[in-house]
Amino acid sequence: MVEEKKWDVIIIGGGPGGYTAALYLSRATLSVLVFAGVKAGGQLMNTTLVENYPGFKDGVMGPDLMMNMEVQAKKFGAEVRYENVTKVEMSGETKKVWVGEKEISAKALIISTGASAKMLGLDEEKLMGKGVSTCAVCDAAFFKEKITVVVGGGDAAMEDALALAKYAGEVYLIHRRDSFKASKVMQERVFGNPKIKVIWNSEVVEVNGEDKLKSIKIKSSGIDAGVDPYTTMSVDGLFLAIGHFPTTELFKSQVDLDEKGFLKTGITNGNAKLWLEGYPTMTSVSGVFGCGDVVDFKYKQAITAAGMGCQAALDAEKYLTGGTSSY
Ligand SMILES: Cc1cc2nc3c(=O)[nH]c(=O)nc-3n(C[C@H](O)[C@H](O)[C@H](O)COP(=O)(O)OP(=O)(O)OC[C@H]3O[C@@H](n4cnc5c(N)ncnc54)[C@H](O)[C@@H]3O)c2cc1C
């Protein structure tokens, strides 16, 4: 079945990136359809108080912020559907998306499908927001004087440990090998911070707690025979910094992705041509733009996703109309 209406822009993703793009484009009087997916609102629907989104001096609950973003985009005419796009065809001038058998088309496409943090696979998701976190920048301030653990060995883990060291009483950095793959400068900062203690050659094998994180069990390798390799540690905060999966499966054969699967745009791949043409958020496919965590392998914040959503919207508007409306 083919939907007759051809939209100006289809946005795939109903998180801060997608809704901000929808707000700008609908306010510029373009017709906008947002596929917010079955996880409409995105990652912030899984958290409680967001204290670092500007404009809310006492913080704002994640779901409230997302509900408001959706309402604000709809106010200017954006249509939001809570369905997952199941197929795309992006190469032609007309961009086509499918939801099951239904085909819908647009003149431009914005991809803002986000990313999800890799987990340990120990059922720790049930304690997300109750001691377990995948974002130290977001949550470190909640752990003043507490005992915290970071898992990982890359730059993100170093950054998380350093962020936590500003607040927490104790920070343990657990890594499964005997050296980090993080950059030297980040490692030096970690080693130079008296609050951070590294636990090498060790893996978290159990995460315990019902309503709140209580303890973790660690298994260490390479220790003397006869010594119990398991240690149980009481902890208040467990921060996972073992990477992210960008949600790009749907697009992977049609658009350039980096080695970790993040969508490449002029902003992230340093493509000077796209900058010169005035489309820094365009992907390798003309008329297809990217924003938010699906592009951003570094910052992964609501405000950066929203900021990039604005950029993608302005680029898409320029692509469709030759200019940008006053804003
Ligand atoms: C627990 C937690 C707490 C956090 N706390 C903070 C915080 O305090 N401050 C902060 O700045 N950041 C925080 N973050 C990070 C922040 O949530 C993300 O950076 C931000 O949500 C990224 O926005 P986004 O629009 O790129 O993608 P997302 O929020 O990930 O949204 C992706 C959207 O894409 C949709 N989608 C995916 N695939 C499809 C498909 N096939 N069809 C249709 N739709 C699809 C999903 O349904 C979803 O609506 C937190 C993250 C987590 C997980």
Render each residue's pLDDT in the chain as its tens digit; 327 residues: 998 899 999 999 999 999 999 999 999 999 999 999 999 999 998 788 899 999 999 999 999 999 999 999 999 999 999 999 999 999 999 999 999 999 999 999 999 999 989 999 999 999 999 999 998 988 999 999 999 999 999 988 999 999 999 999 999 999 999 999 999 999 999 999 999 999 999 999 999 999 999 999 999 997 777 888 999 999 999 999 998 899 999 999 999 999 999 999 988 776 677 777 789 999 999 999 999 999 998 899 999 999 999 999 999 999 999 987 655
3-state secondary structure 300-319: CCHHHHHHHHHHHHHHHHHH
SS3 10: strand
For ligand 1, mutation pick of 43, 50, 160, 247 (most atoms within 8 Å of CB): 43
Sign of the C-alpha dihedral, residues 43, 44, 50, 54?
positive
Cβ(124)–Cβ(207) below 8 Å = yes
Give ligand 1 pocket residues (Cβ under 6 A): 12-18, 35-37, 39-40, 42-44, 46-47, 50, 52-53, 84-85, 112-114, 128-129, 134-135, 138, 247, 250, 292-294, 300-303, 305
Question: What pLDDT score does 267 carry?
Answer: 81
Nearest to 111 by CA among 303, 241, 256, 1: 256
What is the 115 CA–ligand 1 centroid distance (Å)?
7
Statement: 2-116+244-321 belongs to CATH 3.30.465.10: no
Ligand 1 atom showing the smallest separation from residue 291 Cα: 26
87 CB neighbour count, 10 Å cutoff:
12
Residue that has been written with the tokens 């980096």 in this structure: 258
Q: Give residue limits of the domains in the chain.
A: 2-116+244-321, 119-240
2-116+244-321 and 119-240 agree in CATH topology: yes
What is the 305 CA–ligand 1 centroid distance (Å)?
8
- The pTM of this model reads 0.87
What is the 219 CA–ligand 1 centroid distance (Å)?
32
Backbone angles phi, psi at 315, to 5 degrees: -65, -40
Question: What pLDDT score does 327 carry?
Answer: 57
Q: 150 has which bridge partners?
A: 173, 239
Pairing of strands 147-151, 170-174: parallel
Nearest to 66 by CA among 37, 34, 44, 38: 44
What is the 146 CA–ligand 1 centroid distance (Å)?
27
CATH class of the domain comprising 119-240 = alpha beta
What type of residue is 98? Answer: W
SS3 130: coil
d(CA 79, CA 116): 25
Catalytic amino acids?
135, 138-139
SS3 294: helix
Cβ(65)–Cβ(44) below 8 Å = yes
d(CA 143, CA 170): 10
d(CA 88, CA 83): 14
d(CA 144, CA 237): 10
Ligand 1 atom showing the smallest separation from residue 133 Cα: 1
- Of all protein residues, whose CA lies closest to atom 27 belonging to ligand 1? 114
Sign of the C-alpha dihedral, residues 81, 84, 85, 86?
negative
d(CA 307, CA 16): 9
Question: What pLDDT score does 326 carry?
Answer: 57
Q: What would the two tokens of residue 118 be?
A: 């890799």
Question: What pLDDT score does 73 carry?
Answer: 97
> What residues contact 184, with CB distance under 8 A and at least 6 apart?
none
